[in-house]
Structure 1
Amino acid sequence: MTPYQIVLGQVDDRAAAALMLDGRLHDLLIDAPGDRPRIGAIYRAVCDRPIKGQGGMFLRLGDGLTGWHRNAKGLQPGQELLVQVTGHAERGKAIPVTDRILFKSRYCIVTPGAAGINVARSLKDEEERDRLLEIAHDVLPEDRGSMGVILRTAAEGQAEEDLEADLSDTWEMASQVMSDTGTGAEHLLDGPDAHRLSWRDWPDAPVSETWDEVLDQIEALRTAEVKSGPATFYIEPTRAMVAVDVNTPEGGSAGGFKANLALARELPRQLRLRGLGGQIVLDLAPMPKKDRRGFEAALRTALRDDPIETSLIGWTPLGHFEMTRRRERIPTEELL
């Protein structure tokens, strides 16, 4: 029996989804207001102006929106191209986009510009890999041009008819978008909402629509204080960074190390649920320098299954620990 449960609901008429693990909030998705594009949205963009020294280009996306392409080598002002939204931007800032477009569904990813049919490396069973490849070759057209497909790990063991439908629908959608012949800046395809994302990316689990069951746990995300084992820590976002302060009632270096380990185990979950990213600075409880390696190992282990790219930078002269996290979500406090 799966320990997961998915709860679907709404926040101010916007789609929302909560992933529960043994009754505890594990992940949270809430749609942004309607004037902010979802990650995965596709636009026909028009190059506007390059930024010298940075290698990037501002793009016109239509609907009054501006995009930022960080790798604009070879692009010229006035040139049109298809781009996909890769993250959220603060109000008044350009939306990050890429021209490496992917069409992602539950069981497959269609990859324009990367031909071939492949299976996710994490799927090791050779017999199952062969089964999935055979299904894909039967469903997809022989002339696939420059588009390819990656069969995701979630495809393992799934019924043939479900895989065929997912492959066929995703391929057709990708073909229609990539054959676009229009001109000018225009929104071509919306990104998935919270309900579809929960189906696409979360584990198979029973689905409930009793949103009231998770409201108390969501409300707890609005306070800076978090209690975890022997530690109490405070997560406080500022304009420049996210500051995390660790406190412990236990004295001595052993108590400090235990509190810091508790933080390491809980921090990825808290950052994910709160939608926080960017620069993160940890003001840890006092502990000997010899325990730093153990803390880093615990933090890396906790981040291993986290879906958001996070880099551990290291220690400052003041003994703080720094990390950076990709800004893939709008802060939950703002969405609430």
Structure 2
Amino acid sequence: MKGRQVVLGHLFGLEAAALMVDGQLADLLVAGDPLTPLAPGSICRATTDRFMKGQGGVFLRLPDGQTGYLRDRKGVPEGKPVLVQIAGVAEEGKALPLSTRLLVRGRHGLVTPGAPGVNVSRSIRDEDRRDALAALGREVLGARDHGLILRSVTLDADDAEIRDELAQLIDLADRICAETTGGPELLLDAPSPWEQAWMDWAEPAPDAVEEGEDSFERCGVLEAVDALLTPRIALPGSADAFVEATRALVAVDVNTGNDTSLAAGLKANIALARELPRQLALRGLGGQVVVDFAPMPKRDRATLDQVLQAAFRGAGSETTLVGWTAMGLYELTRKRDRVPLARLAQAAGGA
């Protein structure tokens, strides 16, 4: 199907949502993590456990006996509760990454407690509309020490609807910020996949929303997921790449196939560079990523660098392109913000 489809269904027995664009899987959200009930985006009250001298970080006790790690302990009181948000996922046996910069998400906006100011999405370029939205945000905030980020969907949204949701989000942020006494406790669960789809995929408006027990099969989502659970990535022509996740890093190998032309390496590498952000996001892979590109002249590295930068610019996840190593490998790091798809499939298979 051409256009944008939002597909709501279940995967591995878990609530899931998929975004299909022109028949290709563009994004996938799946609930649950077999290692922890605390999903990225959850807000908790935690207590300090032990400071890491010389590293600047601190381990915190979370609800249900979980442990979290905060890289920057500045302002964290020893032995006292602190409000934190789950910032990503962790490998088995490792502490969950945390942040003290809280974010309360909604469809029209985001509330940032302790970070005052009203900001409007840069994709809204109409100056009159930007000014009107900023004034609306300041009005709803009043004298509170919160900040607001107005999302792109507010460009054409009804002001009364925006105001009502922002007021609810701000009230929720007020109640969370008041929870400063007591032991570890979950204060706000992360949005479910269906809720997140409603918040994040509203702009541009989808051409169709598909639901039902067979929605994933009917719309081609299951077929796309099956491909993601294999290491091979098919590229144009006969080229392909293989993605293999280890505990230390994610390794990617690019092959030209039976193409023996002089530009075969560069063509395969460019194809992988354009596809890599989508593959990492859909597979739920992050951390250190090392790419063994197909052989090509060194002079072509500048071209490939430009393609990589353009591809990851709109990827939506924190990514750092580190560059080339002495062995000719390419390194990058990507935030671990989703549960690996293979982990969910494995847990479902063992259930």
Q: Could you say whether these structures have the same fold, taking a TM-score greater than 0.5 normalized by the shorter chain as the test?
A: yes
Which residue in the other structure is 2:71 paired with? 70
- Closer, same or farther: CA 269–118 of 1 in aligned 2, 3 Å: closer
Q: Which amino acid aligns with 2:275?
A: E
Distance 1:72 1:126 in 2: 40
Distance 2:23 2:46 in 1: 44
Deviation at 1:82, TM superposition (A): 0.7
- Closer, same or farther: CA 24–163 of 1 in aligned 2, 3 Å: same
Indicate which of 229, 236, 255 corresponds to 2:236. 229
Which residue in the other structure is 1:117 paired with? 118
Deviation at 1:303, TM superposition (A): 1.2
**1:57-104: CA deviation from partner (whole Å, max 9, x where unpaired):** 111112111111110024343121111111111122111111111112
Q: Which amino acid aligns with 2:24?
A: R
Distance 1:188 1:167 in 2: 19
Q: Which amino acid aligns with 1:4?
A: R
Distance 1:40 1:76 in 2: 23
- Closer, same or farther: CA 131–250 of 1 in aligned 2, 3 Å: same
Structure 1 residues 256-267: aligned runs within 5 Å: 256-267=265-276
Structure 1 residues 286-305: aligned runs within 5 Å: 286-305=295-314
Are the equivalent residues in 1 in contact too, given 2:81–2:181 (CA < 8 A)?
Answer: no
Q: Secondary structure at the match of 1:90?
A: coil
Scaled by the length of structure 2, the TM-score of the pair is 0.90
Q: Secondary structure at the match of 1:87?
A: coil
Deviation at 1:114, TM superposition (A): 2.0
Indicate which of 207, 220, 223 corresponds to 2:227. 220
- Closer, same or farther: CA 268–162 of 1 in aligned 2, 3 Å: same
Q: Which amino acid aligns with 1:24?
A: Q
User: C-alpha root-mean-square deviation of aligned residues, in Å?
Assistant: 1.8
Q: Secondary structure at the match of 1:239?
A: coil
Q: Which amino acid aligns with 1:19?
A: L
Distance 1:162 1:301 in 2: 35
Aligned residues: 334
Distance 1:221 1:173 in 2: 37
Which residue in the other structure is 1:250 paired with? 259
**1:274-323: CA deviation from partner (whole Å, max 9, x where unpaired):** 11111111111111111111111111111121111111111122211111
Work out the percentage of aligned pairs sharing the same amino acid.
Answer: 45
Q: Which amino acid aligns with 2:37?
A: R
Which residue in the other structure is 1:23 paired with? 23
Scaled by the length of structure 1, the TM-score of the pair is 0.94
Distance 1:76 1:96 in 2: 18
Are the equivalent residues in 2 in contact too, given 1:14–1:32 (CA < 8 A)?
Answer: yes
Deviation at 1:265, TM superposition (A): 1.1
Are the equivalent residues in 2 in contact too, given 1:253–1:288 (CA < 8 A)?
Answer: no
Which residue in the other structure is 1:40 paired with? 41
Which residue in the other structure is 1:102 paired with? 103
Are the equivalent residues in 2 in contact too, given 1:311–1:325 (CA < 8 A)?
Answer: yes
Residues 1:174 and 2:173 aligned together: yes
With 120-129 and 87-96 compared, the bigger mean Cα shift is at 120-129
Deviation at 1:219, TM superposition (A): 0.9
Which residue in the other structure is 1:54 paired with? 55
Which residue in the other structure is 2:349 paired with? none
Deviation at 1:211, TM superposition (A): 1.8
Q: Secondary structure at the match of 1:89?
A: coil
Distance 1:300 1:226 in 2: 20
Distance 1:115 1:77 in 2: 26
Distance 2:2 2:47 in 1: 47
Any gaps of 5 or more consecutive residues in structure 1?
Answer: none
Q: Secondary structure at the match of 2:263?
A: helix
Are the equivalent residues in 2 in contact too, given 1:253–1:286 (CA < 8 A)?
Answer: no
Which residue in the other structure is 1:207 paired with? 209
**1:130-184: CA deviation from partner (whole Å, max 9, x where unpaired):** 221343344x15332x112121222111122321222122112111111225412
Deviation at 1:26, TM superposition (A): 0.7
**1:183-240: CA deviation from partner (whole Å, max 9, x where unpaired):** 1211111111111111122233121111212111111111111111032111111121
Are the equivalent residues in 2 in contact too, given 1:38–1:193 (CA < 8 A)?
Answer: no
Which residue in the other structure is 1:321 paired with? 330
Are the equivalent residues in 2 in contact too, given 1:128–1:157 (CA < 8 A)?
Answer: no
Any gaps of 5 or more consecutive residues in structure 2?
Answer: 346-351
Distance 1:227 1:40 in 2: 33
Q: Which amino acid aligns with 2:178?
A: S
- Closer, same or farther: CA 141–277 of 1 in aligned 2, 3 Å: closer
